[in-house]
Structure 1
């Protein structure tokens, strides 16, 4: 019998196969490249559930904040990137992780535009308003509700005080980065009877604009147009009022 163990083959063992960078980025980061060198716009997607300090089950579609933050730093430092487009379709997630992402976007020196497609719920709301200009699709929704905890709670008064302070941080951030009033936002947050077994409000696209939460109802073309206009202004300011 012919011994195949010594037979030479061109096949490469699975553990030695060269990984395709594009496939690797899609699997790990949900996008085809970390930075688009051929474009002056960096597109970032925040989808599924925002994963924070706790690792979520593998069947959950998540956006890991430890992936998002380094990409934002890279986009801020890359001279070829002149604008950042953030696409949101998230159910929410970890509050502190979401606020960290929102603060990063809000403090970038380059023009930023967010677009809510499908949904920008819970902690997705501060992320949606953190950019220079926000857009929401006509059929997209945003759920506004108080901060909640899952699992065992030890020390109820202390936990309530902690949640109340964290909630004020979220409210303050939304107030500073949108045109909605604090009274209206809290009214939507504590509304009863609309959500099953919960308090809060689901706001549809046009209503989010009428409340002053989001700047405009629109789509991808509106977002890119708005971002390109702001990039032109960014260039003028960078060149001292002269466009090269």
Structure 2
């Protein structure tokens, strides 16, 4: 432990065991239980691949949904936590796991905000729109595309219908938690003139806001300002 860290541990109000647990949470799950600012905000990160029932390769950064689910329950139940900030930089991943996390975030009764940094692609889009207010930095991008599947696929009508139903669930969730219309989101999904050897649309931060997919352009300061004002019951977010 460095001298600076030792001094912090000895400072009144900084319990060494609490600091150790905080460091473990950040290292293992990319989460911070509650910040020490004006209000207690829980910071949660969704990075890399969203891992579902199947394990991702060891060399990939992942967000494991079985780790995030109990954290979200704890956020809702803990009276000391006043708000939730979800920071995303994800390539997407397991569709059912991503939708499950998005539904839980949408069900949090406390003030919540999302901030897209880098990328909020694929199934990361429902997660990006799940909170009460969504932010994206100008340099971030979001890739909208149809449901994909890796591995063996049976070419039977039942399989095709399953993919259609899954895609409908995604479209319905995104349209229900943002200002974009379902028809427009589907149109962006099926765009064949932008991605090489694929269909879909890549939106930068400004375009995502113009399409109504994300609420506001902003950065960390803007997201925290929104949460503080929501917690304090104010309506002016300027």
Scaled by the length of structure 1, what TM-score is found? Answer: 0.84
Which segments of 5 or more consecutive residues in structure 1 lack a partner in the other structure? 1-19, 235-244
- Runs of at least 4 residues of structure 1 off by over 4 A? none
Match of 1:3 in 2: none
In our comparison, the structure showing a higher alpha carbon Rg is 1
Query: Matched residue of 1:154: which SS?
Result: coil
CA distance in 2, matches of 1:175, 1:37: 32
Does residue 105 of structure 1 match 2:105? yes
Q: CA deviation at 1:132?
A: 0.3
Q: Counterpart of 2:91?
A: 91
2:232 match: secondary structure: helix
Q: Aligned-pair distance for 1:157?
A: 1.8
Q: How far 1:36 moved relative to its partner? A: 2.2
> Structure 2 matches for 1:198-209, cutoff 5 A?
198-209=198-209
The whole-number CA distance in structure 2 between the counterparts of 1:209 and 1:21 is 37
Aligned counterparts, 1:119-130, within 5 A: 119-130=119-130
Q: What CA distance in whole angstroms lies between the structure 2 residues aligned with 1:21 and 1:134?
A: 29
Q: CA separation in 2, counterparts of 1:115 and 1:157?
A: 39
Q: What is the number of residues matched between the two proteins?
A: 214
1:55-70 alignment runs, 5 A limit: 55-70=55-70
The C-alpha deviation readout for 1:40-97, integer Å capped at 9, x for no partner, is 1000000001000100110010000001111011111110111000000000000000
The equivalent residue for 2:143 is 143
What is the aligned-residue RMSD (CA, Å)? 1.6
Q: Provide the secondary structure at the position in 1 that maps to 2:88.
A: strand
For residues 105 and 22 of structure 2, the distance between their equivalents in structure 1, rounded to whole angstroms, comes to 25
What SS does the corresponding residue of 1:105 show, helix, strand or coil?
helix
CA drift at 1:225: 0.5
Following the alignment from structure 2 to structure 1, what is the Cα–Cα distance between the partners of residues 79 and 23? 26
Following the alignment from structure 1 to structure 2, what is the Cα–Cα distance between the partners of residues 111 and 24?
26
**Alpha-carbon distance between aligned partners in 1 of 2:201 and 2:155, rounded to the nearest angstrom:** 29
By how many angstroms is 1:181 displaced? 1.1
Report the counterpart of residue 41 of structure 1 in structure 2: 41
The alpha-carbon deviation at position 119 of structure 1 amounts to 0.5
